[in-house]
Structure 1
Amino acid sequence: MAYSGQVTVGGAPDVHELSDLIISKVAVGKYTNNVYLLRCRATGEQLLIDAAAEPGTLLDLVGTGGLASVVTTHRHPDHWQALQEVVAATGARTYAGRDDAEGIPVPTDVPVDDLGTIEVGRVTLTARHLVGHTPGSIALVYDDPHGHPHVFTGDCLFPGGVGNTHEDPAAFASLFEGVTTKLFDRLPDETWVYPGHGDDTTLGTERPHLAEWRERGW
């Protein structure tokens, strides 16, 4: 069955199989957070994006293959409720944006800056620092050498707009500029977007609405 990116809490993961990387998406918790498990096909190494909730569900998703690392996209508690349990069970290294690390109660082993890289086996993810939803949010870009890019946006970009900036015009301007210049201006329309909640989208689907987002201010 083709990957759709549509998942429900308590439901089965949806799996996106790429040439070098397998991406499993699952929804967890009362805020319906998306969690993504990335597995390098060449080495079997695995990386988890946002240990949001339901540690048992996440450890079942990881399975017996071990977990090398966990990336937390930003400091908001709904994205790290299961982090302590997952790290305790797996010994995984922890990554987070440098400016959000202090707001995450589980110590961050590797603070991440803009254009910093994170490896999962032979696959490289590149971080983009996006300020506005939180001070240190990061998106993770996988530039698939066999196809189009893939970007994991946390709560910075969704179908229909950027993340919540709490009616703060300066925060919105910062996040909108960051998403525009670091994602839309640099990546093609085919880029697949995996957000922190809800369904997936593509940059091409959202690009025609950028002026509308700027005008409305959210």
Structure 2
Amino acid sequence: MKRILVAASAAGWLFAPGLAHAEPGLAAEVYGPSVHEGEGEFALRTGVLDGGDADGEWQTKIEFGYAFTDFWRPSIVGEWEHESGDTEFSAVAIENVFDFTGTREWPVHFGAYVEYEVNTQDGPDGLELKLLMQRERAPLNLTLNLIGEREVGGGSSDTWEFGYAGEAAYAFNEDFALGIQGFGDAGADDDFGDFSDQGHYWGPFAQFELAHVGEGEVELQLGYLVGSGQSEADDQFRFKVEYEFGDED
């Protein structure tokens, strides 16, 4: 089942500040490695934290991407965050998904993700790298992202921080899927792998195809994730709407 989400609410442009160290999940995405030339997407993603020290904080991202080749899809992303009662436009980012096309017929399909984020508030910019892995055997789709990120530019730290994002989805038909989704931290250079001392969020999500618009489709995804470990909130609610258009396999 293809993922297709449309940035629906103009109000989304008003959401956001800059959390210095945002909790896992929120407006983040679990990225698959597949790229199809000529295919584009416009998406709105929002995550809201509930309970705990971070109660009421949220993050929203609006993204537009287009695949210029069958192995490269760049995107531009605007990010807003809300923390301590303040909402601010926090960052602009350039994302790139690279499809390792030679692995498409392997049991696990691989790809890579590279993002450079320009911080619009005080502080350094950011670099994020991901190894993308997916096993898609209908109706089951398993996706895992291994993440490394660090600050870059003036005043930046030389520390790498690590994390993960993953999901398992079962498509009942082309229009509806249910699954489990999770995001979490895995430590930094000096404490990598100490999962018990990091924040994690896991829970169910549902994905629906809403409509066909022109030559594209609109999809909605809703999720509820429960915090564990050293998470700063009890749980989080996730919302994503996307419009995908153009050529498609």
What is the TM-score when the length of structure 2 is the normalising length?
0.28
Hey, which of these two has a bigger chunk of strand by percent? 2
Hey, which of these two has a bigger chunk of helix by percent? 1
What is the TM-score when the length of structure 1 is the normalising length?
0.31
Q: Which has the larger radius of gyration?
A: 2
Larger relative contact order, structure 1 or 2 (CA cutoff 8 Å, min sep 6): 2
